[in-house]
């Protein structure tokens, strides 16, 4: 039975980086011996021009059927905003995993001192379907002129299920979990989080737990990123902290993500957006998409071998062949050259080379 992948490249750099994700996925399938069936759908601007909708009914039907069949994943590029929020909500993709690593050989592209960034290997577990992004919106006109509000909402169920994902991830990693919150200023919302966290801390007694107010969390990440293992955050804080972490390792273009629901359905995409100023130039870093494919291989296909192969190939390739965002003063390769170099390296590794 093939693994079905719905490919949605989207706008800006989405098509360029997703093409390299697909190239690497195809190579992984060929080398590791599994079948992948790809279906492409336009979303974002191209879909809007075609149909007046940012995502077509046909694409949504394919996702609905794929989720129901339990054999399908989405490889996503980037869009300005609307369709990605819709997909996350429609499929309840509440568990957003964003790994951040400082790669050996790349510590020079970090703005931090080498001894500070070296060894950084953390995972931001971001809640993805609630918070202000999906909160009740109101607007009106008052004595201060026009006003608008968008609510930060969390219930126990939403907080508990993402916290449980974070504890599980910590248990599989270095058994340390840090919660980023703002209880001092947004007390009622975070009292819901603390209510569900206390029993989970007892249940996961083997996981060392600590917490920071999110403002201090941002500072601690800059000062000692290598000390953190899993960071649990609500949607807004997780969005900001993961981009901050991308900056710390040298480029947002390096970061992958997986957005999962409880039915095993997942959407895999780079952490970054459409990067309009570099779009269409074949210079964007495809590593975020390539490593998102690696996450897909493990989470959706159960192919740890493919995930490890892709990661090893990326690690072996980027110190020597890097796109402009991570090449430093050295020569830069194009998006397509880097994707091809990673796929070639996978074949060399599989053939027993280094
Ligand atoms: N999941 C998604 O589809 C996301 C969409 N967006 C959307 O993307 C658009 C642009 O947003 P920005 O705030 O500019 O964020 P962005 O992530 O697109 O870009 C931020 C910075 O990182 C650089 N960058 C991003 N990806 C890169 C890559 N692969 N290689 C090299 N450099 C890279 C960009 O050039 C820019 O300097 C907005 O419309 C935003 O709403 C933003 C984040 C996620
Ligand atoms: C539409 C935005 C919430 C996308 C974004 O910034 C993200 O998911 O990181
Ligand atoms: Mg973001």
- The 10s digit of each residue's pLDDT in 170-194 is 999 999 999 999 999 999 999 999 9
User: Where do the domains of the chain lie?
Assistant: 1-101+250-354, 111-248
Mean pLDDT of 222-250: 98
Nearest to 256 by CA among 289, 233, 230: 289
Q: What is the helix (H) or strand (E) element at residue 212, kind and residue range? A: strand 208-213
Interface predicted TM-score (ipTM): 0.99
Confidence check: pLDDT of 1 > 80: no
Rounded Cα–Cα distance for residues 179 and 209 (Å): 8
CA-nearest of 263, 262, 240 to 98 is 240
Which of 94, 131, 182, 229 is catalytic? The answer is 182
Confidence at residue 322, expressed as pLDDT on a 0 to 100 scale: 94
- Predicted local distance difference test score (pLDDT) of residue 107: 81
Same fold, 1-101+250-354 and 111-248: yes
**Protein residue whose Cα sits closest to atom 4 of ligand 2:** 81
CA of 53 to the centre of ligand 3 (A): 23
Q: Which residue has the CA at smallest separation from atom 7 of ligand 2?
A: 239
**Ligand 1 geometric centre to CA of 230 (Å):** 24
Measured in Å, residue 239 CA sits from the centre of ligand 2 at: 7
Instruction: For the chain, give the mean pLDDT.
Output: 96
Nearest-angstrom CA–CA distance, 307 and 258: 13
User: Rounded CA gap, 10 and 5, in Å?
Assistant: 15
Architecture of domain 1-101+250-354: 3-Layer(aba) Sandwich (3.40)
Report DSSP letters for 255-266, one per residue. Answer: -EEEEE-TTS-E
* Residues in contact with 340: Cβ distance below 8 Å, sequence separation at least 6, in sequence order: 20, 23
- pLDDT tens per residue, range 118-173: 999 999 999 999 999 999 999 999 999 999 999 999 999 999 999 999 999 999 99
C-alpha span between 226 and 139 (Å, rounded): 43
Q: How far apart are CA 325 and CA 210, in angstroms?
A: 34
Q: What is the CATH number of domain 111-248?
A: 3.40.718.10
Q: Is the pLDDT of residue 26 over 90?
A: yes
153 is catalytic: no
């Amino acid at each position: 039975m093939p693994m079905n992948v719905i490919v949605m490249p989207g706008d800006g750099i989405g098509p360029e980086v997703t093409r390299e994700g697909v190239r690497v996925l195809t190579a992984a399938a060929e080398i590791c011996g599994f079948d992948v069936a790809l279906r492409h759908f336009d979303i974002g601007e191209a879909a809007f021009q075609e149909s007046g909708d940012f995502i077509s009914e046909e694409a949504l039907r394919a996702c609905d059927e794929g989720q129901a069949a339990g054999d399908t994943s989405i490889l996503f590029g980037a869009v300005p905003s609307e369709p990605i929020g819709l997909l996350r909500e429609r499929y309840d993709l509440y568990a957003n995993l964003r790994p951040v690593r400082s790669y050996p050989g790349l510590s020079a592209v970090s703005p931090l001192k080498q001894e500070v960034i070296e060894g950084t290997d953390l995972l931001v577990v971001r809640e993805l379907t609630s918070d202000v992004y999906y909160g009740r919106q109101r607007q009106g006109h008052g004595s201060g002129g026009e006003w608008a509000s968008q609510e930060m909402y969390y219930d126990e169920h939403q907080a508990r299920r993402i916290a449980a994902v974070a504890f599980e991830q910590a248990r599989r990693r270095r058994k340390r979990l840090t919660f980023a919150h703002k209880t001092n200023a947004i007390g009622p919302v975070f009292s819901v989080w603390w209510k569900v966290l206390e029993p989970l801390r007892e249940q996961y007694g083997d996981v060392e737990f600590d917490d920071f107010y999110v403002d201090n969390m941002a500072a601690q990440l800059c000062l000692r990123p290598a000390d953190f293992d899993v960071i649990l955050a609500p949607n807004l804080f997780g969005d900001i902290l993961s981009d901050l972490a991308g900056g710390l390792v040298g480029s947002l273009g390096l970061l992958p993500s997986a957005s999962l629901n409880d039915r095993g359905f997942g959407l895999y995409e780079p952490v970054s957006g459409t990067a309009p100023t570099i779009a269409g130039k074949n210079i964007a870093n495809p590593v975020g998409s390539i490593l998102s494919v690696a996450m897909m291989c493990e989470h959706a296909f159960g192919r740890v071998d493919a995930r490890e192969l892709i990661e090893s190939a990326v690690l072996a390739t980027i110190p020597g062949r890097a796109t402009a965002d991570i090449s430093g003063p050295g020569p830069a390769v194009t998006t397509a050259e880097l994707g091809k170099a990673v796929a070639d390296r996978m074949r060399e590794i599989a053939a027993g080379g280094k």
